[in-house]
Amino acid sequence: MSATITFLGGADTVTGSKYLVEHKRQRLLVDCGLFQGYKQLRLRNWAPLPTVPGQIDAVLLTHAHLDHSGYIPLLVKEGFKGRVHATPGTLDLCKILLPDSGHIQEEDAAFANRHGFSKHAPALPLYTKQDALESLPQFQAEHLGVWFEPIRGWKARFQSAGHILGAASLLLEVAGRRVLFSGDLGRPDDVLMNPPEPPPQADTVLVESTYGNRQHPQDKLFSELGPLLHKLAKRGGVAVVPVFAVGRAQAVLHTIAQLKAAGELPRGLPIFLDSPMAIHTTALFEKHMGEHRLSLAEVHAMDSVATMLETPDQSKSLATRHGPMVILAASGMATGGRVLHHLAQYVGDHRNMVILTGFQAPGTRGASLASGQSHIRIHGQDVAVRAEVVQIESASAHADGNQVLSWLHRMPSAPGQVYVVHGEREASDMLRQRIAHEIKWRAVVPEHGAVWPL
């Protein structure tokens, strides 16, 4: 009997990555992410999985971003007893990200209950900070390039994917088949991360397609961000920069440090990093030297370029300051976190600026801002958008269509089947067409919930 794969997430969307691989009544999940964005997507987080968590033997995690890892505390709460295999970098990041995710969900539920705008009474968190903490002992670190056995007779190996600290592609061997999961692929010219390792030979490939229909501009973050912040400082405004606490926050900080060192920014322009998660992640760069491009001096410069705001009181004290200043805060798509308070305060003034630094999934506030909507809804209130909104695509941590194609093309010979995943439908379909026409491999975009033989 051949093995099968079920697409439980990350098919026709960029979020909720979850691929169930089954063979002879044994099963594992590759990635275990939360759905984010539109409500109908978020509702999928509440729907039961087709397999009860107690019958899943292992989870293999490609990286720590919540759209890949954020469902793990719920899986454990609902009876998953196996190991979560991940690289050391991913494990360190999950210790930061998952408890915070539980905390945010508790806060959102409490806020909805206090203000009575939830249709559910009472609104409940998907899981709590405590649930997340209790899931962490099931993690097991696996080093890059070293085979391990997640289930007896199944073999797996991680290799570097660029993207963020700890991020990996995964090669899985089961029932005589080799399946390669690209994970989120970094770009070869990323400011922080090394280029992704070339793909090993496989029979089946799952490849991400976040930017499958786009090419990144040649501009470097350095040359985009510098002039923007100059303009902002001149008019005395405040820049609110929603950042992914892991990855983009550090890329922006590193670039600001470079701009300051090169004399390209007004010396006195205050920079604030208002995200405990991003602060802790920044500190991890020193622990994981060699897994990224930065020298120790660059790590220290990135660390000292901003004033770090850990406590809620420090965060609130920003509201009494006047511009110019730059506030980096999570979350990167403005779906929650401290950045919401700053947006509510600053987005109504035309002197101010919102700088979007990464992919904005449809249905998020970030996507509304990017598409030029005149109002956004924050904490149940409509807020007028008068600030200048800028999206800088050079900050992306994902390979673009050309870069994904040239990564794939480095595989020694054609695989039997490619599944194009982790993209909005248009992006996935464009990449599928390019794979079929330009390198002449068999490629499909699987439907959510589809089951295929491996």
Between residues 18 and 23, which has the closer beta carbon with respect to Zn ion? 18
C-beta separation of 451 from 22 below 8 A: no
Binding mask 225-244 for Zn ion (x = CB under 5 A): --------------------
Closest contact distance (angstroms) between CB of 65 and Zn ion is 3
Which residue type does 13 have?
A: T
The full length of the chain comes to 454
Cα separation, 331 vs 346, whole angstroms: 16
Contact mark string toward Zn ion, 278..317, x via CB under 5 A:
----------------------------------------
3-state secondary structure of 131: helix
Q: Reduced to 3 DSSP states, what percent helix, strand and coil does the chain have, rounded to the nearest 5?
A: 35, 20, 45
Residues of this chain, 118-137, that bind Zn ion according to CB under 5 A = none
Q: Select from 18, 65, 187, 422 the one that contacts Zn ion (CB under 5 A).
A: 65
- Does residue 100 belong to the site contacting Zn ion (CB under 5 A)? no
Stretch that binds Zn ion, among 62-70, 147-155, 229-237, 445-453 (CB under 5 A): 62-70
Smallest gap from Cβ 397 to Zn ion, in A, equals 7
User: Do 19 and 4 contact (CB within 8 A), yes or no?
Assistant: no
Q: Cβ 415 to Zn ion, closest distance in Å? A: 23
- Tell me how far, at minimum, the Cβ of 11 lies from Zn ion, in Å: 16
Please, what is the minimum distance in Å from the beta carbon of residue 143 to Zn ion? 20
DSSP 133-182: HHHGGGEEE--TT--B-SSTT-EEEEEE--SSTT-EEEEEEETTEEEEE-
Tokens of 406: 């040239």
Give the residue at shortest CB distance from Zn ion: 65
Residue 65 or 342 having the CB closest to Zn ion: 65
Of 246 and 385, the one with the shorter C-beta distance to Zn ion is 246
Number of residues that bind Zn ion (CB under 5 A): 2
Quick one: which segment of 105-113, 119-127, 176-184, 406-414 binds Zn ion (CB under 5 A)? 176-184
For residues 429 and 213, give the distance between their C-alpha atoms in angstroms, rounded to a whole number: 8
CA 96 – CA 91 distance, rounded (Å)? 9
404-436 residues labelled b (16+ CB within 10 A) or e (exposed): bbebbeebeeebebbbbbbbbeebbbbbbebbe
Start-to-end C-alpha separation, the chain: 10
Closest separation in Å from C-beta 292 to Zn ion: 15
- Return the range that interacts with Zn ion (CB under 5 A); candidates 178-186, 232-240, 308-316, 403-411: 178-186
- The CB-of-134 to Zn ion minimum distance in angstroms stands at 24
State the Cα–Cα distance between residues 47 and 50, nearest whole angstrom: 9
Q: Does residue 359 contact residue 399 with C-beta atoms inside 8 Å?
A: no
CB of 63 to Zn ion, least distance (A): 6
Binding segment for Zn ion among 58-66, 151-159, 373-381, 402-410 (CB under 5 A)?
Answer: 58-66
- Nearest approach, Cβ of residue 78 and Zn ion (Å): 24
Strands (E), 175-222: 177-181, 204-208
State the binding string over 182-201 for Zn ion (x if CB under 5 A, else -). --x-----------------
Interacting span for Zn ion (CB under 5 A) from 179-187, 313-321, 428-436, 446-454: 179-187
Query: Given the rule CB under 5 A, which residues bind Zn ion?
Result: 65, 184
